[in-house]
Structure 1
Amino acid sequence: MQITDDLLQKLEKLAMIRISDDKKEDIKQELGEIVNFVANLNRVPTQDIDVRSVLSTPLRQDIPSLDESVAQSVLKHAPKSEDCYFIVPKIIG
């Protein structure tokens, strides 16, 4: 797909940005390459792929545990802590 001056002007307006005249040709070329890349991706045959088998995440038991060494390790890097809590500055008056 060719990015025209009119399309680039619309994109500038939508993105609320201003592209300098000396960079417009480079931007048009780069955007054209991106659009062509996406068009190539759209041609990849994916209709026979079962997404559930590809993107499955193995599950594990959600078992709570109390490991004081982890809490102490995290808190020792905090600027301020007390009684196993982070001390943060007051932000609401």
Structure 2
Amino acid sequence: MQIDDKVLANLEKLSHLRIDESKKEEVKNQLTEILAYVDNLNELDTKTLSATFSTLEGGTPMREDIPQGDDTVAKDILCHAPNTKDDFFIVPAIIE
């Protein structure tokens, strides 16, 4: 898939990002390269692999889930957000 000006403009709108005019061509090329790389993954034969396949011996290591209980982390993060309410981020709607 080739990223063109129309697709890039739509991505900018959906992501609420502004790409400088001098960088747009570079970004289009980079996104096109990424999509081409991901498209190469379609060539892999994964029919014989289990859905739980892992390259790690014994699967993915797990850690104990221990709640930290430190409320200052959330408050520190939220104090830098442009808009918050009741300990939540307020963001613009992106669904058209």
For structure 2, list consecutive stretches of 5 or more residues without a partner in the other structure: 65-70, 76-96
Match of 1:57 in 2: 59
What RMSD in Å do the two structures reach over aligned CA positions? 2.8
Asked if the contact 2:54–2:60 (Cα under 8 Å) also holds between the matched residues in 1, the reply is: no
Change (3 A) 1:54 1:12: same
Change (3 A) 1:27 1:53: closer
Determine which structure has more spread, i.e. the larger CA radius of gyration.
Answer: 1
Give how far 1:58 is off.
7.8
Q: TM-score, normalised by structure 1?
A: 0.56
**Taking CA–CA contacts closer than 8 Å with sequence separation of 6 or more, which of the two structures ends up with the larger relative contact order?**
2
User: Are 1:14 and 2:14 matched, yes or no?
Assistant: yes
Please give the residue correspondences for 1:1-93 in structure 2 after superposition, counting only pairs within 5 Å.
1-54=1-54, 56-57=58-59
Identity of aligned residues (%): 37
Asked if the contact 2:12–2:19 (Cα under 8 Å) also holds between the matched residues in 1, the reply is: yes
Give the number of equivalent residue pairs.
Answer: 63
For structure 1, list consecutive stretches of 5 or more residues without a partner in the other structure: 63-87
Give how far 1:53 is off.
4.9
SS across alignment from 1:51: coil
Q: TM-score, normalised by structure 2?
A: 0.55
Rounded to whole Å, the distance in 2 between the matches of 1:48 and 1:31 is 31
SS across alignment from 2:52: helix
Give how far 1:38 is off.
0.5
Change (3 A) 1:27 1:58: closer
Q: Which amino acid aligns with 2:27?
A: I
